[in-house]
């Protein structure tokens, strides 16, 4: 009953690879969560990371070592995570943000192109249908305000005249 050193070496490197993949998944899901800028979305992506990374790790342990858990597999897993975060994370995150910006711009352009006919119809309806109605209403409101102001001015003028006349009468009576 000999130990197959090549199978254990392959299992060790599979554990390192699983650690690297877990780090990559973390950066991908963390970057998507940060781009949304909402705590609840970040929490959802954190839970999603835990589920997916558990699936990756368990799959690697099952495929390459038939769930015979050995201490070197855990060392390989942590080595892979540490290697990724110390050497590759900064570069991968920078590339990932650039890719997400490009994808955002592409979807923004597609969305803008798809909405162009709707915006065109909106402008046509606005200019030819709603604007005349709006101008009619605005003109009527302005006319009503103008008439109200004229009435106020006439009332204030008549009140001033009455006050002047009453003052004159009081002064004449005093004399």
pLDDT tens-place string over residues 80-112? 989 988 998 888 888 888 888 898 899 888 888
pTM of the model: 0.56
What pLDDT was estimated at residue 102? 92
Domain locations in the chain as residue ranges? 5-174
Query: What is the C-alpha to C-alpha distance for residues 29 and 90, in angstroms, rounded to an integer?
Result: 15
Instruction: Identify whether the C-beta of residue 83 lies closer than 8 Å to the C-beta of residue 16.
Output: yes
What pLDDT was estimated at residue 96? 86
Measure CA of the first residue to CA of the last residue in the chain; give whole Å. 139
DSSP single-letter state for residue 37: T
What pLDDT was estimated at residue 117? 81
Instruction: Identify whether the C-beta of residue 47 lies closer than 8 Å to the C-beta of residue 33.
Output: no
Could you tell me the mean pLDDT of each successive run of 10 residues in the chain, 175 residues long? 70 88 88 77 85 88 80 87 89 86 89 81 71 72 79 69 65 62
Token look-up 């008549």 returns 158
What pLDDT was estimated at residue 1? 44
Q: How many helices (H) and strands (E) does the chain have?
A: 5, 0
Instruction: Identify whether the C-beta of residue 22 lies closer than 8 Å to the C-beta of residue 80.
Output: yes
């Amino acid at each position: 009953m000999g130990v197959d050193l090549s199978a254990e070496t392959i299992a060790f490197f599979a554990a390192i690879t699983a650690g690297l993949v877990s780090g990559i998944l973390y950066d991908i899901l963390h970057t998507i969560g940060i781009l949304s800028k909402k705590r609840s979305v970040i929490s959802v992506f954190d839970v999603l990371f835990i589920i997916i990374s558990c699936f990756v790790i368990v799959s690697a342990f099952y495929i390459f070592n038939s769930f015979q858990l050995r201490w070197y597999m855990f060392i390989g897993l942590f080595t892979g995570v540490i290697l990724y975060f110390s050497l590759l994370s900064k570069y991968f995150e920078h590339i990932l943000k650039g890719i997400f910006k490009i994808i955002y711009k592409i979807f923004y352009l597609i969305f803008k192109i798809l909405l162009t006919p709707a915006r065109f119809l909106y402008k046509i309806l606005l200019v030819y249908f709603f604007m005349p109605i709006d101008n009619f209403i605005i003109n009527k409101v302005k006319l009503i305000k103008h008439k109200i102001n004229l009435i106020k001015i006439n009332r204030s003028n008549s009140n001033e005249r009455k006050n002047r006349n009453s003052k004159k009468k009081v002064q004449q009576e005093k004399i």
